[in-house]
Amino acid sequence: MTSALFIEQLLNGLQFGVMLFLMAAGLTLVFGVMGLINLAHGALYMVGAFACAAVANATGSFWLGLVASIAAAAAAGAIVEIVVIRRLYSRDHLDQVLATFALILIFSEGTRWLFGSFPLFLNVPELLSGPIMLPGGLQYPLYRLAIIIVGGAIAVGLYLLIAKTRLGIRIRAGESDRAMIAALGIDIRLLYTVVFALGAALAGFAGALVGAIQSVQVGMGEPVLILAFVVIVIGGIGSIKGALVGAILVGIVDTMGRFLLPSFFQIFLDNVQANTVGSALASMLIYILMAIVLIVKPRGLFPAHG
Amino acid sequence: MKIKRILTAGLMGLSMGLAATASAEPVKVGMITTLSGGGSGLGIDVRDGFMLAVKQAGNKDLSVVVEDDARKPALAVQIADKMIQSEKVDILTGIIWSNLAMAVVPGAVAQGKIYISPNAGPSQLAGRGCHPNYFNASFQNDILPEGMGAYANKVGLKKTFIMAPNYPAGRDVLNGYKRFYKGELASETYTKLGQTDYAAEIAQIRASGADSVFVFLPGGMGIAFMKQYAQSGVSIPVMGPAFSFDQGILKAVGQAAVGAKNASHWSKDLDFPGNKPFVEAFEKEYGRLPSLYAVQGFDTASLILSAMKKASIKDTDAFRAALKEADFDSPRGKLKFGNNQHLIQTIYVREVIKEGDIYTNKTEGIALENHQDSYAAKCKM
């Protein structure tokens, strides 16, 4: 095994983690501020990817598609919040899960009705396509590198938003005591809609970024949603910092596990068996990680409320 | 006047009666296929291909009921029961996935129904589990990777990196490749089913020193892999069974798939009398190029229609014999069934090309001629 391969895999893990962060940030905000379990978050990811693909195919510009993905997902998020989610805040989690699960089905079938069953075409923009030479003679896809940079910038931006702006103060206040913030004369309904739309926009943006290197198809959001839940459970529900650390941890552990475990088992098993055992264990690895974190720190790495 | 009217009515009645006795026994086909959820593109193609043949034949004695199984085995079994018991169908067909076929087919054939597979070809039904009522008009799961393995030998590939999802069909496909491929393996990698990010595997391919990559990644997995592979700058040639490079998929992959070699039992440019008219008719009817699933649906319907000309469905033995003759011009040439009632067919190697604005496949050569699946010997028929 060469160090170039090792570094490449580390970058892959980082990139995967950054993508998960974009998903998990919205999920954890919505849960932290509103106490809502939103299973439909994956549907918003899909909305972003489809909006990007549709606009990019119609105009020929990936960048316009990217703008459209953010706009479409934020709009879908705001509409869903006003029409459905608003009625669920006072309900228990089972009702929330049921209603947002229904939203998954509605979004999936709606998308199929609009765009058909075949996957849509969406490719990496010309500007970012192909590999790039990194120092040390390592070849790495430019697009993935761009995702890492953009994701990092968004993480910093979110931190500044939450820590430094008036909106951020309100969001944090809403997290710790929603009755008090309402009593202070802040329009809590509007705040909730804004937070939900922000989370949706991040999910849609992630969907569009990933859609370009994966497949834009109905149901693409749900596998990512499960990982995003793992991330926020590991990171501590409601904490943006926890989401970032958790996402990068999950990204790197998953990628390195897929890469290292089969070679590890090859030391004492034959090739085929080692691959089978290694890859089976690799797909469980992040859940094992989650279990360990929950044993040591039952509220996650960075619990939001004290 | 009145007498004349009565007379005409009587004559008409008489002629209708005559027509009824002269025509063959009506046949009712129940199609259980995947029309919603993941992988519905395949079911839609099978249905459209089937219906094209039905429409072209215009045979009023053939009726078809279609139901969606949403890729759920339990639902498929339920639909099959309903079709057999209350709809009284004579023939069942349509299932796309091997796990659904294994849930439905053994029960249906045991109840005396004929089942014709337009896609799934699990090894169990080709070997010991073969049955006089089970016909496979598509392919046995292993034959395309076997073709690819034979091709790899032919062009002198020595070190292949092989990869598939970790589930039964994935293992079957890699085993099929290994059965014929004589070179060395750079690695045999199993990924999680439904995985969409292949960065880690592509990095390993880059570092493995392989001279070729063989992947079986159906549906969205293949789209994701091909796009990421093209971005990675790794230039080792990619090949795989046709499923990852078929018409429905290529639209979504685009340029990234060009040059990939794939093994198929059909291609749109094959020179058979049945092929060109089929491709043209399909494109005219549905406004898109047919996929191999569409061909399999078309052939399934043509097979039923050809048997209806020769035998009555009430005489099961005669009808089965007529099916086995497969007396029609398929887009794959003349079809020939082996002892296990699976097709003995030629496996071609195709290359993905860009033709005008459309990505499609061009036949490059023959990988295995008149190839029978490896399980036929275990079938006692």
* Paired residues of B212 in beta bridges: B160
Which run of H or of E encompasses B353? strand B345-355
Q: Which of B197, B207, B233 sits opposite A5 (nearest CB)?
A: B207
CA atoms within 13 A on the CB side of B259: 11
B51 near B78, Cβ under 8 Å? no
SS3 state of residue B128: coil
Q: How far is CA A166 from CA A160, A195, B48, B285, B331, in A?
A: 11, 13, 58, 60, 68
d(CA B331, CA B308) in angstroms, rounded, equals: 20
- Asked if B199 contacts A144 with a C-beta cutoff of 8 angstroms, the reply is yes
Per-residue model confidence (pLDDT) at position B14: 47
Token digits for A33? Answer: 């501020």
- Torsion sign, CA atoms A18, A22, A23, A25: positive
State pTM to two decimals: 0.81
What is the nearest CA distance from A251 to chain B, expressed in angstroms?
11
Residue B4 lies in a domain: no
* pLDDT tens string A239-291: 889 999 999 999 999 999 988 888 888 888 877 788 778 888 888 999 999 99
Torsion angle defined by CA atoms of residues B287, B289, B290 and B292, in that order, rounded to the nearest 10 degrees: -160
Q: How far apart are CA B307 and CA A55, in angstroms?
A: 49
Residues B243 and B352 in one domain: yes
The boundaries of the domain holding residue B244 are 143-264+346-377
Using a CB-CB distance cutoff of 8 angstroms, which residues of chain A are in contact with residue B189?
Answer: 262, 275, 279
Instruction: Evaluate whether residue B78 is within a structural domain.
Output: yes
Q: How far apart are CA B279 and CA B247, in angstroms?
A: 12
What is the pLDDT at residue A185?
Answer: 86
Judged by phi (left if over 0) then psi (alpha if -120 to 50, else beta), residue A170 lies in alpha
Q: Are strands B333-334 and B184-191 parallel, antiparallel or unpaired?
A: unpaired
Same domain, B241 and B147: yes
- What is the distance of C-alpha B295 from the center of its chain? 7
Q: What are phi and psi of A42, to 5 degrees?
A: -65, -30
Q: Phi/psi zone of residue B310: left (φ > 0), alpha (ψ -120 to 50 degrees), beta?
A: alpha
Q: How confident is the model at residue B50 (pLDDT cuts 50, 70, 90)?
A: very high
User: Could you tell me which residues come within 8 angstroms of residue B309 by beta carbon, excluding any fewer than 6 positions away?
Assistant: B24, B322, B327
Cβ–Cβ gap A258/B200 under 8 Å:
yes
Scanning B258-277 for CB atoms below 8 A from A yields: none
Residue B325, SS3 per DSSP:
helix
* Token representation of residue B145: 């990777």
Q: Are B76 and B32 in contact (CB under 8 A)?
A: yes
Helix (H, G, I), strand (E, B) or coil at B238: strand
Q: Is A46 or B195 the better-scoring residue by pLDDT?
A: A46
Strands B261-264 and B238-241: parallel
- Residues 6 or more apart whose Cβ sits within 8 Å of residue B255: A123, B230, B354, B359
Q: Rounded to an integer, what distance in angstroms lies between the CA atom of residue A47 and that of residue A279?
A: 31
Residue B9: inside a domain: no
Q: Could you state, in order of their start, the residue ranges of all structural domains in chain A?
A: 12-296
Would you call A215 and B197 a contact, using CB atoms and an 8 Å cutoff?
Answer: no
Report strand pairing: B261-264 vs B345-355: antiparallel
- Determine the residue among B72, B171, B227, B358 to mutate to test chain A binding: the one whose Cβ has the most chain A Cβ atoms within 10 Å: B227
Q: What is the pLDDT of residues B87-138, one digit of tens each?
A: 999 999 999 988 899 999 999 999 999 999 999 888 889 999 999 999 999 9
B181 and B251 belong to one structural domain = yes
ipTM entry: 0.79
Question: Do A262 and B189 count as a contact with CB atoms less than 8 A apart?
Answer: yes
Instruction: For B202, name the nearest residue in chain A, comparing CA atoms only.
Output: A9
Is B288 an 8 Å CB contact of chain A? no
Q: In the prediction, which pLDDT does B117 show?
A: 96
Check residue B3 and give its pLDDT.
Answer: 55
Under an 8 A CB cutoff, do B231 and A143 touch? yes
Cα separation, A63 vs A69, in Å, equals 10
Partner residue facing B231 (CB), from A119, A130, A271:
A130
Tell me if A124 and B231 make a contact (CB, 8 A cut-off): yes
Integer angstrom CA distances of residue A120 from A206, A210, B34: 16, 13, 19
CB contact under 8 A, B227 and A15: no
Q: Are A273 and A258 in contact (CB under 8 A)?
A: no
* Greater model confidence, B39 or B303: B303
Provide DSSP, A3-71: HHHHHHHHHHHHHHHHHHHHHHHHHHHHHHHH----TTHHHHHHHHHHHHHHHHHHHS-HHHHHHHHHH
Which CATH number does the domain housing residue B215 bear? 3.40.50.2300
- Chain A residues closer than 8 Å to B44 by CB: 117
- Of A268, A262, A302, A269, give the one whose Cα is nearest residue A285: A262
Asked if the Cβ–Cβ distance from A121 to B254 is below 8 Å, we say yes
- Nearest chain B residue to A253, by CA: B200
| Cα gap B48→B43, rounded to integer Å | 8
User: Cβ–Cβ of A121/B251 closer than 8 Å?
Assistant: yes
The domain defined by A12-296 folds into ABC transporter involved in vitamin B12 uptake, BtuC (1.10.3470)
Contact B67, B314 (CB under 8 A): no
Cβ-Cβ contacts under 8 Å, A120 against chain B: 252
The answer as to whether B20 is a domain residue is: no
Q: How large is the average pLDDT for residues B200-224?
A: 90
HEC sequence for A208-255: HHHHCCCCECCCCHHHHHHHHHHHHHHHCCCCHHHHHHHHHHHHHHHH
**Is B60 contained in some domain?**
yes
Distance, CA of B276 to CA of B61 (rounded, Å) = 27
Q: Report B:214-233 residues touching A (Cβ under 8 A).
A: 219-221, 223-224, 227-228, 231-233
Establish if B211 belongs to a structural domain: yes
**Is residue B176 in some structural domain?**
yes
Check whether residue B214 and residue B354 sit in a common domain: yes
Residue contact A223–B196, C-beta within 8 A: yes
Residues of chain A with pLDDT under 50: 306
Please indicate, yes or no, whether residues B199 and B281 belong to a single structural domain of this protein. Answer: no
Contact at CB, A121 and B252, closer than 8 angstroms: yes
Contact check, Cβ <8 Å, A117/B41: yes
> Which positions in chain B touch A121 (Cβ < 8 Å)?
251-254
Output the pLDDT for position B6.
55
Q: Do A215 and B196 touch (CB under 8 A)?
A: yes
Contacts of A262 in chain B (CB under 8 A): 189
Chains A and B: how many Cβ contacts under 8 Å?
A: 129
Question: CA A32, CA A53: separation in Å to the nearest integer?
Answer: 31
Kindly report, residue by residue over B293-331, the tens digit of the pLDDT.
Answer: 999 999 999 999 999 999 999 999 999 999 999 999 999
C-beta of residue B343 within 8 angstroms of C-beta of residue B137: yes
- Contact (CB, 8 A) for B122 and B102: yes
Top residue of A46, A213, A250 to mutate, by most chain B CBs within 10 Å, is: A213
Q: How many angstroms separate the CA atoms of B381 and B369, rounded?
A: 23
Give B16's pLDDT tier (boundaries 50, 70, 90): very low
Q: What distance in Å separates the CA atoms of residue A184 and residue B71, rounded to the nearest whole number? A: 53
If pLDDT is split at 50, 70 and 90, which confidence band does B271 have? very high
Question: Which residues 29-58 of chain B have a CB within 8 Å of chain A?
Answer: 36-38, 40-41, 44
Q: 177-206 in B: which are within 8 Å (CB) of A?
A: 185, 187-192, 194, 196-197, 199-201, 203-204, 206
Alpha carbon distance A10, A17 (integer Å): 10
Give yes or no: residues B197 and B275 share one domain.
no
* Nearest neighbour of B224 by CB, restricted to A141, A142, A213: A213
Residues of chain B above pLDDT 90, percent: 70
Average pLDDT for B261-277: 94
The tokens describing B39, both together, are: 């992988």
The answer to whether residues B227 and B292 belong to one domain is no
A119, B254 contact by CB (below 8 A):
no
Is B283 inside a domain boundary? yes
Q: Provide the pLDDT confidence category of residue B7 given band limits of 50, 70 and 90.
A: low
Domain count, chain B: 2
Share of chain B above pLDDT 70, in %: 93
